[in-house]
Structure 1
Amino acid sequence: MEATVRDLDGSDADTVELPAVFETTYRPDLIARAVRVAQANRKQDYGADEFAGMRTPAESFGSGRGMAHVPRQEGRGRRVPQTVKGRKAHPPKAEKDQSESINTKAKKLAVRSAIAATTDAELVAERGHEFDEDVETPVVVSDDFEDLQKTKEVVEFLEAAGLADDIQRADEGKSIRSGRGKTRGRKYKQPKSILFVTSSESGPSRGARNLAGADVTTAAEVNAENLAPGAQPGRLTVWTESALEEVADR
């Protein structure tokens, strides 16, 4: 399988033979499993206060009064789960192990399958990514991209390559989160846009990291969650030539 290498001006510079990893069998089940494990292992331990709902002098009146044996304080039920300000019946426990595991071979196959999914233009479009009709996937750019330090320069390349619409989609899709998360430091949610994969020698792209919805990583560190956010494979991905050589060993 071959891919077209683009210059920074968007023109076709060369063709390159894609590594065998890009021909891996599509396994959405393994990809979803790997993403779920990664998400589970990021969870922080949390639990209820051991004495929550128990700090009350409430006592039951006992039998003989024709009323329920509910502990009461000033005539109001307390302590038990079915009362206002009562404890929870089965609160979350901080000692609970929330981590999950996945076999090493399955994890590697999931990453390889997610890498291969970036070559399928239909899958990429199904994820909601927007790009010009003449764009070939995967998108490969010359190593000159790794020298870009300014976001403006990266935007100019994306416009020339027909990929800028996806950044705009993510920027316009930013919205206020529903629920309590608004008050817990995650007020906004934003769609994922382009993933930029560069070589380990140059490190993650500095010029692309501030683009709306974009992620930057290296070929040695790219994982299933980078390639399939929300366990949906087929992310629009820009690879540099050096990154292609490195990812062959994944």
Structure 2
Amino acid sequence: MPTALITGASAGLGAEFARQLARRRADLILVARTEEALDAVASDLRREHGVAVEVLVADLAEESGVQRVAARLQDAADPVDLLVNNAGFGLPLRFADNDIDDEVRHLRVHVEASMRLLHAALQSMRGRGGRIINVASVAGFISRSTYSACKSWLIGFSRWANAEYSRDGVSVTAVCPGFTHTSFHERMGLPVGQEGVPGFMWLNARDVVREGLRDAARGRSVSIPSLRYKALVALTRVLPSAVTSGVARRGRV
């Protein structure tokens, strides 16, 4: 029975990854900052699916938190077969007006923590086999403050790592959803219906995760859920950055 470690697993896409993997009979290691929320998700999954669920409380903006999760990924006695780097949060797009310490923490969670956990996972997966999913965003294909820059890094690094480590039996996939109904936007202070995004642009978390897991199983380096966002990403390759960055000021991805 495979074991999956999911960061940011207490809500949103992380919790949906946990639910879908539990339905597939995977044992789980759930990582987030809040123990109470993690325990609630873990309890539901144990009851509904009968899988083993381990709770690991860690703040990935802190050195100690990253080290704790990395050590679990490197545990050869109880190996992890799938890592889902999902933890993250958003900030207002006006970089110059944001607190620089918040921006540094944002960078640490999205880029540094993901990189270090991927590195730790590779130590036990190479030769044995495994999968790594980095939850990025279609924002990574456009110009959109530091969130876009962080997700662009994840996409580029996933492409390289997938090609590099496929020879060792490890696939690395960047899952790039567009606007998706989760609690992410509410935490940004944007209540449902007030994000400035038309209804047809919204995705369902179940569909995003299902397609992401399917593409990871196929060994793809980038997964863009839904035809409409595949088309949108294709357009970003030909439109001027001034146009795409102007459109990207609306809502949160």
What TM-score bracket applies, with the shorter chain setting the length? under 0.3
Scaled by the length of structure 2, the TM-score of the pair is: 0.26
Relative to its length, the structure with more helix (as a share) is 2
Scaled by the length of structure 1, the TM-score of the pair is: 0.26
Greater RCO (Cα-Cα under 8 Å, separation 6 or more): 1
Structure ID, larger Rg: 1
